[in-house]
Amino acid sequence: MQTIVDYFTTIPSSHRSLILVGGITIFWLIESAVPLFANTYGKWKHAGINFFFTLTTIIVNFILAFILVRTSEWVVAADFGLLQWLNLPVWAVLVLGLPLLDLIGAYAAHWTEHRIPVLWRFHLIHHTDQHIDTTSANRHHPGESVIRFIFTTAAVLIVGAPIWLVFLYQSLSVVLSQFNHANIVVPKWINKVLSPVLVTPDMHRVHHHYRMPYTDTNFGNIFSFWDRIFGTYSEVDNTKLIYGVDTHMDLADHSDIGHMLKVPFVKRETLKYDTEEKL
């Protein structure tokens, strides 16, 4: 355990970059071998759009990173936050702290973005992607990157997370997000083993269906049990899914970067249906 603590306390930026690039590369190759949906959408052009938003996400987090680091240093120095108050051994800090960071920094952030209209308008850029694959993981409007950062910082403050736990959480978050967005066929037995604890592609893809109520399910990023605990878990035959957002299905809404950057500032009415869709 101490080796993990020491490594993530001082993890080099180059290693964090390698985790990001390595994860995309590995899942890209798996997608090419066993895709759920055939690649008929121009994978490289699609990736270029998502890489642009990945880059803006990196820039936003790089600019604000000092706030996260200072917050973590302060909670340890001031003995503030749940983990600091409990004074747990390192293994228990990991077992308790990692799920709590995921709960506040990812699940709560995601759920809130779907509930507050102004936040949803930034988040829906992620949902406008009509061809979900591993490059979709960091498809976030710069405004959403700021929103997510605020929630992550709040999580560090509330949980009282030391910096090694913060960097470990962020590393796992990147890889799990790339995994659960990947356009891959996961063998049923593997999904059955992983899904009670971890968010799998079969679970998360449901969240990207273009219509309610499925859009408001499966908010988890690393751990799937938060959706089960809070009643937002849903299972659907993935082959029946249609990706996107029903209010933003035009070509420019998902493939014109300049237009997409403006989307949060243009209000559109929610579409109403006579009957609720059942897949």
Q: What is the pLDDT of residue 66?
A: 95
Q: What is the pLDDT of residue 279?
A: 79
Q: What is the pLDDT of residue 223?
A: 98
Q: What is the mean pLDDT of each run of 10 residues along the chain (279 residues)?
A: 92 93 95 90 92 96 96 97 95 97 98 96 95 95 97 98 97 97 95 96 96 93 97 94 92 92 88 78
Residue 264, H or E segment? none
Nearest alpha-carbon partner for 106 in 227, 211, 6, 15: 227
Q: What is the pLDDT of residue 190?
A: 95
> What pTM was computed for the model?
0.93
Nearest alpha-carbon partner for 204 in 174, 238, 231: 238
Quote the CA–CA distance of 181 and 204 in Å, as a whole number: 7
Which amino acid, residue 7?
A: Y
Q: What angle do CA 81, 87, 89 make, to 5 degrees?
A: 125
Quote the CA–CA distance of 219 and 206 in Å, as a whole number: 10
Identify each DSSP E strand in the chain by its residue range: none
Q: What is the pLDDT of residue 55?
A: 96
Q: What is the pLDDT of residue 99?
A: 98
Q: What is the pLDDT of residue 271?
A: 81
* 3-state DSSP assignment of residue 209: strand
| The length of the chain, given as a count of residues | 279
Query: Where are the domains positioned within the chain?
Result: 2-186
Residue linked to tokens 């949980």: 159
Residue linked to tokens 């109520």: 213
Is there a contact between 116 and 150 (Cβ–Cβ < 8 Å)? no
